Amino acid sequence: MAPILGFVPLHVPWILGIPFLAHPESFDSWYHGRSNGTESLPNGIMGIPAGAFYLVVLTLLAILGGILSLGLIRPWAAALPVAGWSYFRRTRRASLHPSA
């Protein structure tokens, strides 16, 4: 949960172009593709400013990491499909103590 609670709330204003806790001039030039690694993308990626696209990808990866790490401790992660990897099929619980 730390990636979601610590990373995402800070980056959402940045995705929207709000320089929250950042230097406004350098944030604006980076966000719109004029400096620091984004200078080759002045028009953005698919119409989205280069900085916003980069931050969206990072935020989605942080959310994915949070969900995957949450699955390590939650019981819903211990359900295994019985007949192949299909969401709609019946599942069974994984044994936490395999028999020897």
Q: What is the pLDDT of residues 25-64, one digit of tens each?
A: 888 887 777 766 656 666 767 777 878 888 899 999 988 8
The model's pTM is 0.63
Domain assignment present for residue 99? The answer is no
Domain assignment present for residue 25? The answer is yes
| pLDDT number for residue 90 | 57
Domain assignment present for residue 69? The answer is yes
Domain assignment present for residue 89? The answer is yes
Domain assignment present for residue 98? The answer is no
Q: If you average pLDDT over every residue of the chain, what do you get?
A: 75
Task: Find out whether 78 and 94 touch, Cβ atoms under 8 Å.
Answer: yes
Mean pLDDT, residues 5-34 taken together: 84
Range of the domain at 87: 2-93
Give the SS3 label for residue 30: helix
| pLDDT number for residue 85 | 56
Nearest to 53 by CA among 23, 8, 15, 3: 15
Task: Find out whether 22 and 30 touch, Cβ atoms under 8 Å.
Answer: no
Domain count, the chain: 1
